[in-house]
Amino acid sequence: MLLKLLRQLNRAYGYAVFGIYLAAFGIAFLFVFIFPPATLALLFISIFGLLFFNALGFVLRTVERRWNRARLGKGLCPECGAAALSSVVVGAGEMRCGACDARHDAQGTWIKPVVHEPEPVQA
């Protein structure tokens, strides 16, 4: 369960950070009229906060990859827990689950599914 929570957090991490920065912008805009030095303080906090969020994102991705690697090493799918892994590209070490069709590389990084465009229907 913790792995699923971490996986969802990693996949929505950029949107979460964007929401935090959008809220900080709104607060800073209001402080322009109420207390202008607070706007400058929020500006510098947000610049240095970007370093923090970048480092936090790196740590979260690293932890998820390690957990995925451990499950892949046991022959289990990190997404659904099924033991139906099959190697797709032997040279690259890419693993695909036969049950849920999730793909991971040899380092445990989740590979986004390829979505093909539908064929146009001709009348």
**At 33, is the secondary structure helix, strand, or coil?**
helix
Q: Where is 90: in which H helix or E strand?
A: none
Average confidence (pLDDT) over 4-9: 84
Please answer whether residues 22 and 28 qualify as being in contact, where contact means their C-beta atoms are separated by less than 8 angstroms: no
| Tens-digit pLDDT profile for residues 107-118 | 888 877 777 788
Residue with tokens 């590979």: 111
Tens of pLDDT, residue by residue over 10-55, are: 888 989 999 999 999 999 999 888 898 988 898 899 889 989 999 9
Q: pTM for this structure?
A: 0.71
Rounded Cα distance, 101 and 21, in Å = 35
Structural domain spans, the chain: 2-111
Please compute the mean of the pLDDT values over residues 83-108 and round it to a whole number: 71
Of residues 21 and 102, the one with the higher pLDDT is 21
pLDDT of amino acid 101:
76
Rounded Cα–Cα distance for residues 77 and 84 (Å)? 7
Within its chain, how far is the Cα of 98 from the centroid?
A: 23
Residue 80 CB neighbour total at 10 angstroms? 13
